[in-house]
């Protein structure tokens, strides 16, 4: 299981890639991924602190994000 720091590192990487993107389509996708990783980090921190809000699991969110990227067609 990835911990919050790992999720935050992935969010930072996506944010960097968004800044480097050559077009708005890819920039938007990387921004959305950065937001998802940040949200997952927040949830991981809450989980580590003993909170559980009953939302979908982290792996489901990762799988959905990866499927979105794989199915994306450049414009």
- 13 lies in which domain range? 4-71
What are 6-52's pLDDT values in tens digits?
999 999 999 999 999 999 999 999 999 999 999 999 998 888 776 54
Three-state DSSP at 10 gives helix
**Cα 47 from Cα 67, distance rounded (Å):** 25
- The set of residues, in sequence order, having a beta carbon less than 8 Å from that of 31 and lying 6+ positions away, is 14, 15, 18
According to the model, what pLDDT value does residue 58 have?
67
According to the model, what pLDDT value does residue 12 have?
96
- The set of residues, in sequence order, having a beta carbon less than 8 Å from that of 5 and lying 6+ positions away, is 41
Split into its structural domains, the chain has a count of 1
Helix residue ranges, H only, 21-73: 24-48, 58-71
User: What is this structure's pTM?
Assistant: 0.65
């Amino acid at each position: 299981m990835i911990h919050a720091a790992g999720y935050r590192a992935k969010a930072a990487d996506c944010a960097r890639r968004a800044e480097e993107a050559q077009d708005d389509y890819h920039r938007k996708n990387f921004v959305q991924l950065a937001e998802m990783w940040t949200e997952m980090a927040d949830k991981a921190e809450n989980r580590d602190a003993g909170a559980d809000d009953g939302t979908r699991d982290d792996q489901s969110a990762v799988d959905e994000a990866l499927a979105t990227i794989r199915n994306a067609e450049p414009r």
